Chains A and B, each alone.
With several copies, the nearest count.
Chain A
Amino acid sequence: MAIRYCCFRLLPGVELISVAASPIDPDELRKQLFDPAAGAYCSFEGWVRNENDGQTVLRLEYEAYEPLALTEGEEILAEAKRQFLCQTAHCAHRTGMLEIGDCAVWVGVAAPHRDEAFRACRYIIDQLKVRLPIWKKEHYVDGHSGWVNCERCAAAT
């Protein structure tokens, strides 16, 4: 049985990772993960919320350097599949201007059992957040805006 998990089945037309300005369709992405040997599916979505660090957020703007975001994202997915023996793992990240409630990032994992599915999904989102060359600018209700994690740079200018 174990041999099944040793290769990554890259189906034609199915992207492992997308970084794009078009809306994320979680239901469509989920369907691409179906596998008759998978008993567990775990997904994570990051939604644009109306508040951060006590400030009311109106919208978010994501900037990505796509060539390296894609390579780094594929590497993270491959690491997760190796570490947690999951069958398939995909992710998608938005760029551009997003409104409250929009899906900014989606991760989906199919695995034989739930422990592997949860752990792989968590690993992928944790790594995506710190490794992908993607930046987030918050636009606040008071008209100001700020790059998240860049308060130090902002203070210096």
Chain B
Amino acid sequence: MKSIKVCYFAMFREHAGVNEETLTIDATTAADVFRATRERHGSAEPTGHCKVAINDVMADWDSPVSDGDTVLLFPPVAGG
């Protein structure tokens, strides 16, 4: 089990009801973290539309997560 700080943005923040939370989960990749938050908060957004960053660096869904990492979950962006 790893301690992962998860930060939510926009729609994900509203689903979670919090800006961030620390989860103690069995996760190998960023996708595992996303799945865990989905079960917790109910978003059905597929990863293909979303982006993820680990410790402030853009990452892929199969990027590995380590104990103590901060995972940022970005719903589909809409700048401009």
- A: residues with CB less than 8 A from B are 46, 62-65, 67-68, 72, 93, 104-105, 114, 125, 128-137, 147-150, 152-157
CB–CB A150/B80 < 8 A: no
Chain B residues, CB < 8 A from A136: 78-79
CB–CB B56/A63 < 8 A: no
Total number of A-B contacts with CB less than 8 angstroms? 91
B53 at the interface (CB under 8 A from A): yes
Residue of B with least CB distance to A126: B80
A149: contacting residue among B9, B53, B58, B76, CB under 8 A: B76
Instruction: Give A80 Cβ to nearest chain B Cβ, in Å.
Output: 15
The verdict on A157 contacting B15 (CB below 8 Å), with A135-B75, A150-B75 known, is yes
The verdict on A157 contacting B43 (CB below 8 Å), with A63-B10, A68-B58, A147-B11 known, is yes
Interface residues of A: mostly helix, strand, loop or mixed? mixed
The verdict on A154 contacting B78 (CB below 8 Å), with A68-B53, A68-B56 known, is no
B49 at the interface (CB under 8 A from A): yes
The CA of A152 and the CA of B51, in the complex, are separated in Å by 15
Q: Of residues 39 to 67 in B, which have CB atoms within 8 Å of A's CB atoms?
A: 42-46, 49, 51, 53, 56, 58
CB–CB B77/A149 < 8 A: yes
Residue of B with least CB distance to A134: B79
B71 at the interface (CB under 8 A from A): no
Residue of B with least CB distance to A61: B10
Provide a sorted-by-A list of 22 A–B residue pairs whose CB atoms are within 8 angstroms. A63-B10, A65-B9, A65-B53, A68-B53, A93-B79, A125-B80, A128-B79, A129-B80, A130-B79, A131-B79, A132-B79, A133-B9, A133-B51, A147-B10, A149-B49, A149-B76, A153-B12, A154-B11, A156-B44, A157-B15, A157-B42, A157-B43
The CA of A108 and the CA of B76, in the complex, are separated in Å by 25
CB–CB A149/B78 < 8 A: yes
